[in-house]
Structures are given as C-alpha cells and as structure tokens.
A and B are shown apart, each in its own frame.
Chain A
C-alpha cells in the first residue's frame, strides 16, 4: 500500500531490521543499538528505509532474509520519534 493511500500517522509503529554485528547491535552495551544501525546504505542517498508495521510484521521482517534466526534485532519506533528529530517521512 502506498504512503499516499495511507499517510503515516505520528503514532504509527515503524520498524528497522538491525544485524547483530559489531557497530550495529551489541547486547553487551547499553543501549545495545549502535549508530551503525541507522547509517544509510550506499544506495540510500536521500534517507534511510523503515518498514511500516501495519504492512509488515516483525516476524515477517525477520523472515524476509535468508540469514539464520538470531542474526537480527528489530527496532520498533514511532514515526513521531523521527519527526521529533526534525526528520521528514
């Protein structure tokens, strides 16, 4: 479903998959989520990608990779968390 059809509500949960890799997610650190988890990929020139939980569940997001279970964590934020940082969606 397009964003135009369903505008993002500030309270809408959004997801980002984070590999459990040094610099991205380290269970031994507090907080475990590291800056790399939100660094743009080389092909993300104008922002970074999140998934809308209303369209893709956490389990579907984790299952959407061939990597072994336990290779990823999923961060759940609300759109408002990003808007409060002055970012646009």
Chain B
C-alpha cells in the first residue's frame, strides 16, 4: 500500500478514486483496512489538504455562525467556547480521549455503522446482499427509524448535533446542507452518504443557536457508541431535533410527535422509550 501526502485539496481530489482512499485521523479507516472491509491501493493523507481549526464568521452578531475545518479534531471542538454546546457535548461524550485527539470532524461524519453483521462481513443488505441479518438476528444496538431494508444504526454523536444545528458543508464539489449528505440505502445504491468517490468535505458552516444540548444514552459511562443520542437546538425561527444511533443515518426528528412513527424491532423497542425521555429532556433544557 502506498501513502500519498496531498499538499492541497485539489491534489487530494485528483488522487482520489481508482483504489485510492482518503486518510485523515485514521481511527475509522485503519481498522476497516485491517479487517479487509475497505480495500485500498493508495491512501491519500489529508493533513495539508483539508482546513483545520475554528473561525467565527459573524462580527459578534447574534445570527452568526462558525466555520469548522473538516480536519479539526473532536478534542479541539470539545473545548472551544465558540462551538455550540450540543456539538461540544457530542464530541466530549464520543469515544475516548485518545480517539478524539486523532479523529477529525470530517471523518466522523463519514463513520460506518457498528452493526456487527456488517463489521463481520455477513453478506448483508448494506454489503450488497438481499437481506438484513440484524432484523432477524441480534439487533439490540440497532435502528428504530428507516430500518425497513437495513437496521444498522449510525454511530456518530457529532453528526446528530450538527444536523440539529443546521450545519452546511463545503466540499470540493459543492455546498450542501448536512442532511443532504446522508441517504438511506436503496436496492440500487447501498451507500449511506451522497459523497462522490473523489469528493472531500472541506469545511462545516455551523449556525450559532440561542441554546443547544446533546444527551446520550450508552451501555457504560464512557467510550461507547450511542444507544440513543438526542441533539436539540433553538433558533429564533424555531427548534430542531436530531437523533444518533437510531437509524442507518443521523435522524432529523420533526418534533416529539414524530417519535410515534418509530418502527422498532423487538429488540430495539427500549430505544424508542429512551428516545422519548431524552427528547423531552432536551426540549425542556432549551427553554
């Protein structure tokens, strides 16, 4: 395997595709390579190609937003006072200090599911097969929304926070709302993101809310992926909710009432109960 250090976003973009894979913090890619789930002939190292750091775009106005370089580590985000509470808390509650120091926010948005069937390469729907093994197998950590074809759960805490905050992405190709990055897998396309093979996330534009919060239920006090994560953000025009760990993609929730549309599996009914409690708490703490 070859390692290419891209000196610019343009150089990285040109190098990607055709067996080349982008490498940032490596906390996700390296284990996937080691397990043979991702195959690459060449890794394109992004340290010099992707912006890193946090800047304030507004001039002290209440409606300002911040811009986060995609190469910024979760550890940097969790301590920066410019970063909205929901995102800081989502970063703080993610993974372990070592992983947060290495992992970048851009990479975090593109994390693959922790579904054991997918990770162990069962020939499941997400791998291109014809059925979801989790639906009839062990699915205690799986989805309650959007789970008809694939019951995997999206593992990112920060992604839910950024969806609730209404973040927009600048990529090498375009500008788009974060919600448009994600898609449920379909028979024609099993990807859960809409990113082109040679497309890189460069920056995130994150509106500053009046208040925001992230609540997380996990199997132990630290270093666990969310069973349920709930992000809520209040803006002048209204509040937004998003959930982690409940669907194959970060799940924008259209108000508390939308929880009634959950389609839990026998082993995930408890997640709907947790989501209800955390959504109420999150909304209450926005007041």
Is B a genuine binding partner of A? no
Chain B interface residues toward A at CB < 8 A: none
Residues of chain A at the chain B interface (Cβ within 8 Å): none
